[in-house]
Amino acid sequence: MKQLKCATFEGIDAKTVEVQFTATKGLPAFTIVGMANTAITESKERVKSALLSNGFTFPPKRLTVNLAPSDLRKEGSHFDLPIAALIALGNYDGDLSEWYVFGELGLDGSVTENTLLYPIILSLANQGTINRAIVPNISLSKLSKIPNITFYGVDTLTDTLNLLRSDKLPEAKAHISTFDFNHVVHNDKSYFFHENYPLDFIDIKGQEHAKRSALIAAAGMHNLLLEGSPGSGKSMIAKRLVHIMPPLHNDEMLECAKLEILEGKEPTFTPSRPFRSPHHSSTGASIFGGGTHKAQIGEVGLAHGGILFFDELPHFSKTVLEALREPLEDRHIRISRVNTKVTYDANFLFVGAMNPCPCGNLFSTTTACRCSDIEINRYKSRLSDPFLDRIDLYVQMHAVSAEDKPSISSHQLHKKVREAFLRQKERGQKSLNGTLSDAEIVQYCPLNPESQQVIDQAIGRFGLSFRAVSRVLKVARTIADIEGEEDIVKKHLLEALSYRKR
């Protein structure tokens, strides 16, 4: 029995699959077993054509290909190449067990790429299970950015066979370890960012309080809720926020590229974080992921590392808003179905925007509100207290005025975010302030007696929960970082408390 290695997706992670082949006596037949989907079972015809087109003949035996483990569902046309290679190698007795082989075959034996190759191989690299791989030449530009793997590009089935039989391997594609972007360095690690601002904060006139909250949200990855009249700039702030987010490490950029591929896009490999803005009519499955036989990633998972923006927040279904509480707190989401259970990372910055009432004119100084008290209460009651407790920054935006002027650009805000980012890294934090655990809050957010007294008074006056206290401390920590101060003092706590919805 000969075997090569390949892989398939299980949820959002890849699992190694051993492609095993035997040729036994019996009536000539070609069988693929091991819970293969339609794309793999159809590969028999592609494999036959590719072999016959390149001068190979099928032995008059019973050919069996097994995809192990047999209880794992396999999918993807990238199994074509390892299956064809094992059949064509015939009596070759060399050791093939360490080779990973990926590629879809054309009828003439040419090797083409599969859209799932990048996320599969990146997942295997993160698990540390892959060292070298044969891949389509056309995919090398993307795959070579994944570290610690030696890639060998091939164009045809014949190239693959020559490579597997070779005693001396040719020079492999070198790993591209750096990106040509602006970056900051901490502990010999580079964190990349860009200074292109297609949407700039300089376009927003006035709303200084909201701009300040956007700066704090970006610097520490704190959840933000903007409430204001139509046209006050809520969506403008949310769409500009993604361009001033903290820098990305090499691994985070690769993860963002993986999410782009899972969404069906071509990966860009730029230090741009995801920005997801589903419509309020979206279903729960499209936002959180799901599926009967295979759990597909949803908007919450695709927003990992970036921003999830809910415009017209109260118009989202109650079920969706309440289900959002878990990823807002735990930074992951678990999709459980009868046939599959999968956990997605969901560490995103949540931004919500809402009107103050159904007609939107409650805060207006020029237009009368048409809503009754009952309508306003019903509208706002769609957001439960446990949901609002997970919002770090709540801002009421005033109506637009003729005296409002532009004040600060995205370039200036982004510089402050990067400075705060480096201060967090210099303290030894692995994560940003908004995602600190309880133990890390104790370590990185100590309070002096005066500051502790402020928190104690706030607990008694406003009835803050333990979660609210933790979030106030994390926001205060970010405010101190923006101001360039090492310790959290009274003014930082008072500003953080001013953002709590009461």
Model confidence pLDDT, tens digit, residues 369-420: 999 999 999 999 999 999 999 999 999 998 888 788 888 999 999 999 999 9
For the chain, give the mean pLDDT: 90
Q: Please give the pLDDT value at position 92.
A: 80
pLDDT band at 148 (very low <50, low <70, confident <90, very high): confident
Give CA–CA dist 245/310, Å, rounded: 18
Is the per-residue pLDDT at 116 higher than 90?
Answer: no
> Could you tell me whether strands 111-112 and 104-105 are parallel, antiparallel, or unpaired per DSSP bridges?
antiparallel
Is the per-residue pLDDT at 48 higher than 70?
Answer: yes
Q: Where is 207: in which H helix or E strand?
A: none
Helices (H), 263-323: 284-288, 299-302, 318-323
Domains annotated on the chain, with CATH:
2-165 (3.30.230.10), 185-418 (3.40.50.300), 436-502 (1.10.8.60)
Q: Tokens 């309880």 belong to which residue? A: 438
Q: Tell me the average pLDDT across 218-225.
A: 97
pLDDT band at 296 (very low <50, low <70, confident <90, very high): confident
Q: Tell me the average pLDDT across 201-221.
A: 94
Strand partners, 352: 225, 310
Is the per-residue pLDDT at 242 higher than 80?
Answer: yes
CB atoms within 10 A of CB 405: 8
Is the per-residue pLDDT at 35 higher than 90?
Answer: no
- The side-by-side arrangement of strands in the sheet containing 307-310 is 275-276, 307-310, 349-354, 224-228, 393-397
Q: Please give the pLDDT value at position 179.
A: 73
Q: Please give the pLDDT value at position 173.
A: 58
% residues pLDDT > 90 (the chain)? 65
**Burial class of residue 402 in the structure, from the number of CB atoms within 10 Å of its CB (0-12 exposed, 13-18 middle, 19+ buried):** exposed
Q: Please give the pLDDT value at position 122.
A: 92
Q: Where is 164: in which H helix or E strand?
A: helix 157-165
Q: Tokens 């609210």 belong to which residue? A: 468
% residues pLDDT > 70 (the chain)? 97
Residue type, 76: G
Half-sphere exposure of 250 (CA within 13 A, CB side): 16
Q: Tell me the average pLDDT across 33-62.
A: 87
pLDDT band at 96 (very low <50, low <70, confident <90, very high): confident
Give CA–CA dist 36/206, Å, rounded: 59
Write down the pTM of the prediction.
Answer: 0.88
DSSP secondary structure letter of residue 121: H
pLDDT, tens digit, for every residue of 415-467?
999 999 999 999 999 999 999 999 999 999 999 999 999 999 999 898 899 99
Q: Tell me the average pLDDT across 276-287.
A: 93
Q: Please give the pLDDT value at position 502.
A: 72
Q: Tell me the average pLDDT across 474-480.
A: 97
Q: Where does 71-154 show beta strands of DSSP type E?
A: 100-101, 104-105, 111-112, 132-136, 150-154
Ranked by mean pLDDT, the top range of 82-86, 144-148, 292-296, 361-365 is 82-86
Q: Please give the pLDDT value at position 134.
A: 94
Q: Tokens 């570290």 belong to which residue? A: 147
Q: Please give the pLDDT value at position 28.
A: 86
Count helices and strands (H / E) in the chain.
20, 19
pLDDT, tens digit, for every residue of 304-352?
999 999 999 999 999 999 999 999 999 988 887 776 778 888 999 999 9
Residue 220: what are its φ and ψ, rounded to 5°?
-125, 5
User: Which of 87-101, 193-207, 227-241 shows the lowest mean pLDDT across its residues?
Assistant: 87-101
Is the per-residue pLDDT at 289 higher than 80?
Answer: yes
